[in-house]
Structure 1
Amino acid sequence: MTPPNFSATAVLKALRDAVPVMAVALILLGLWYLLTATLYKDKGFLVPAPQQVLVALADNSATLLAATLTTLGEAACGYLLAIVLGIAAAALMAQSRLLERSLYPYAVLLQTVPVIAIAPLIVLWSGYNERSVVIISLIMSLFPIINNTLLGLRSTSHNLVELFALHNPSRWVVFRKLRLPAALPNIIAGMRISAGLSVVGAIVGEFIIGSGNSQGGLGVQIVFAQGRMNTALLFGEVIAATLLGFMFFLLVSRLGHLLLRHWHESAKA
């Protein structure tokens, strides 16, 4: 009898949480329609009406689906690499202050150097292919994971560290059983930030690297839609890219909730 009650409660809670989001979406959609019906009437080449965007999406659904899957694969590869390399780099820097002072400035450079400035080098080394896009996605999404993970590893309670020290554990045991679990909320926070950045990086990489024809990810499709002055399709592709990044964020948030819900205050709340 408990599962049905729990299921009904979960459905009601999901509906309750969705109502404000849907209300804001409807308001924005109404404002968009009102804008195209008044200020931008007969100017669909500047701001198309919502129904025009829907028609453009329906007419190009196959191409958009293929492009979305391409960008999804590139962003996912860059994001997973960023998670692995970011956590590994932060774990290494957390071992000593000397390592942190030596390596952390180079991690900051990943955030401060414009991707456009180093894109020619990436293309020169890797070529005009999806691998270059993955590298750009990796670069854009790596720093938040390094920074937040390092912060979490450095913020472990001293009382717990001293308690562990009473049993004379190895450094690996302390890291695996104490520091890494304690840093998990910070790691999830960094992953949330990087989730959207990985998609942005993939699309920026497609902008920079481009393609020799109309095939490619969402970034390539956006460039071709802009070149054809197909504003309705351009709007649809931007919406698709936005929803893709939002999907990444929701998946990471859900994963974080599952990992933290039984012991961390943020997930309990």
Structure 2
Amino acid sequence: MPVSERVLRVLIPLVMLAMLIGLWAWYVAAYNIPKYILPGPNLVAQSLVNDWPILGMALLVTLKITFAALAIALVGGVALAILLTQSKWIELALSPYMVILQVTPVVAIAPLILIYAPSTQAALLICAWIVAFFPVLSNTTQGLKSTDHNLLNLFELYGASRWQTMIHLKLPAALPYFLAGLRIAGGLALIAAVVAEFAAGSAGAGSGLAFRLLESQYRLNIPRLFAALILLCATGVVIYGATSLISHLLLRRWHESAIRREN
């Protein structure tokens, strides 16, 4: 990719962001909007700096739940996807329950999870895992099923065992699908961690950003509320960027989705 195109890829979003912030600041100043309704970007930035000890600790709590749920979803999703593709009967037996688990709103089942989980943090982790699990499972299963039949016949011709075929053919072929599921699950894990904390109503020193959002709302500390929202948005963008970078690094040399066209 030419250097000028790389610069434009970074410069254009930054210019758009600067324009939006400028429009925001102009609107607040031009119409004299009270800070308890819509604070200006300067007040939000000031709150972000002054309240960083509180917001930073809350962000760490949310990130801990997010990444723990994502890690468990990745391991469990890939393992179950491999199991499902090994037997049609296992897939028929488990698929309906996995779909039910996915389509049930996490807010609806969070109270039950809070009752049976050993702690509030464990309940939040379970809620986040439920939401992040299905994209990994679904995409990886689809990838394992999408292996080229001609290559499967070739492996059979050379007498490869089932696990040799899985490790050397099916898993590499499913990698693009898995990475697509990873990008989706990363954002969903963050969303689920926040939603689960809303449903749990957890508070105190070990609370995450969701509680700080509610606390700011109840106290009409709108600048801090906006600062917490900006932290959440920035975290989501970073997670998506990191997963996209991992996908690019793993696929850039061989998969069509990451290879630049010559013409």
Q: TM-score, structure 2 length as denominator?
A: 0.93
**Residue 7 (structure 2) pairs with residue 19 (structure 1):** no
1:6 match? none
2:24 match? 32
Cα pair 2:144 2:170 within 8 Å, conserved: yes
Q: Deviations over 1:164-204 (max 9, x none)?
A: 11111111110110001000000000000011001111111
Distance 2:19 2:2 in 1: 26
1:234 match? 225
1:97, CA displacement in angstroms?
2.5
1:4 match? none
Cα pair 2:37 2:222 within 8 Å, conserved: yes
Counterparts of residues 93-104 of structure 1 (less than 5 Å): 93-104=84-95
1:168 match? 159
The one-letter amino acid paired with 1:187 is F
1:37, CA displacement in angstroms?
2.4
1:109 match? 100
Cα pair 1:45 1:230 within 8 Å, conserved: yes
Distance 1:156-1:127 versus aligned 2 partners, 3 A rule: same
**What is the aligned length?**
260
2:116 match? 125
The one-letter amino acid paired with 1:242 is C
Distance 1:20-1:177 versus aligned 2 partners, 3 A rule: same
The one-letter amino acid paired with 2:170 is R
Q: TM-score, structure 1 length as denominator?
A: 0.91
Distance 1:193 1:14 in 2: 25
The one-letter amino acid paired with 2:167 is R
Q: Secondary structure of 1:205's match?
A: helix
1:206 match? 197
Distance 1:76-1:10 versus aligned 2 partners, 3 A rule: farther
Distance 1:125 1:11 in 2: 55
**Root mean square deviation, CA, Å:** 1.7
Q: Secondary structure of 1:268's match?
A: coil
Structure 1 unaligned spans of 5+: 1-8
Cα pair 1:215 1:221 within 8 Å, conserved: no
The one-letter amino acid paired with 1:180 is L
Distance 2:233 2:119 in 1: 25
Cα pair 1:133 1:205 within 8 Å, conserved: yes
Task: Work out the percentage of aligned pairs sharing the same amino acid.
Answer: 37
Structure 2 unaligned spans of 5+: none
1:20, CA displacement in angstroms?
1.5
2:254 match? 263
Distance 1:158 1:118 in 2: 41
